[in-house]
A and B are shown apart, each in its own frame.
Chain A
Amino acid sequence: MFGERAVELVRGLHRAADGHLPPFSEDGIRQVLEEMKALYEQNQADVYDRLLRIRALRWEYGSVLPNDLRFHMSAEEMEWFNQYKKSLATYMRSLGGEEGLDLTQDMKPPKSLYIEVRCLKDHGEFEIEDGTTVLLKKNSQHFLPRWKCEQLIRQGVLEHVLS
């Protein structure tokens, strides 16, 4: 049980008559410090694991996280996320061409040019290639260029209809 040894040492000190100094337990101290070290390392690993999940959120949800997820993060984690976003954006912009290459797009091999999508929530107007606009109203269905829809599908605004 964690902390047992430490409690033992403290109890020993308490039990001793006022002012009397019990023998210094080098073993005891060493064991406690080792336990502290193990706990610390486990905690570090857990904390780091959370960071890896937060990093995955950027790739899953995009640069703006849904509110309920945000409340699950500490201020420091949020700061890490913001820095990560910036770093990633800088890197992607450097990838040649005029605006760089958005690596968070094109996550799946292209199967067809256009796909059938259903709108899950009202999203307002959406402009496509040739300049025409489409009104994304809840439950409306559209036949749109796949690459334009990718991000909206990931955000849960559109749903790919597979018939």
Chain B
Amino acid sequence: MEQLDHMESNLKRAKHGDLKVSIHRMEIERIRYVLSSYLRCRLAKIEKFFPHILEKEKSRAEGEPSILSPEEFAFAKEYMANTETYLKNMALKHMPPNLQKVDLLRLVPKPNLDAFVFLRVQERQENILVEPETDEQREYVIDLEEGSQHLIRYKTIAPLVASGAVQLI
């Protein structure tokens, strides 16, 4: 963001019609697009899985870093409060009071941690336990060589993504 601001103020000072101006503008737009896309994607995920994400934040251990920025966390809490209030009002207005209260954790679909993902190994990992796919199989261990690529269930390698040992592609 600081780089974007810096480039913008440079542009304001440059001569109008200078070729450099166009090229810099283009660069600014590209950077802005990539940055916006990334932040948009994060926001969309937060909105999609909000009760599960907030639950995870609540049960986070003391030293563990948060997966949300403080602003994202504030946004997520506001989104939750807003949606909860709305659903409660709708329930009170139209339903008899003996029915269950709003259960957001049930209503909002959970992220599918069993989905297969592509990854590239950054740091060699040994003895990764892989769950069996069928009843006839048994669990087994694999080693992940540095630089190798794999297709594997997210759940199996989730902690490795967090530590940076593997990179999703």
Contacts and interface: CB of A to CB of B under 8 A. Distances in A.
Contact of A106 (B22, B29, B47, B86): B29
Consensus secondary structure, chain B interface? helix
B5 interface: yes
A77 B99 CA distance: 22
Interface stretch (B33-41, B132-140, B155-163): B33-41
Contacts of A31: none
B83 A101 contact: no
Interface string A26-55: 000000000011001100110110010001
B33 A106 contact: yes
B143 interface: no
A105 to B, nearest CB: 7
A122 interface: no
Assign chain B's interface to a size class. 35 or more
B32 A55 contact: no
B67 interface: no
A107 B165 CA distance: 32
29 contacts: A41-B107, A44-B102, A47-B87, A47-B90, A48-B83, A51-B83, A51-B86, A76-B89, A76-B93, A77-B86, A79-B86, A80-B83, A87-B82, A90-B75, A91-B43, A91-B75, A95-B39, A97-B1, A97-B5, A98-B5, A103-B39, A103-B43, A106-B29, A106-B33, A107-B36, A108-B33, A109-B30, A110-B26, A113-B29
Interface of B: 1-2, 4-5, 16, 22, 25-26, 29-30, 32-33, 35-37, 39-40, 43, 47, 71-72, 74-75, 78-79, 82-83, 85-87, 89-91, 93, 95, 99-100, 102, 107-108
Given A80-B85, A98-B5, 14 more contacts: A44-B91, A47-B90, A48-B83, A48-B108, A55-B47, A76-B86, A91-B72, A95-B39, A101-B32, A103-B43, A108-B33, A109-B30, A109-B33, A110-B33
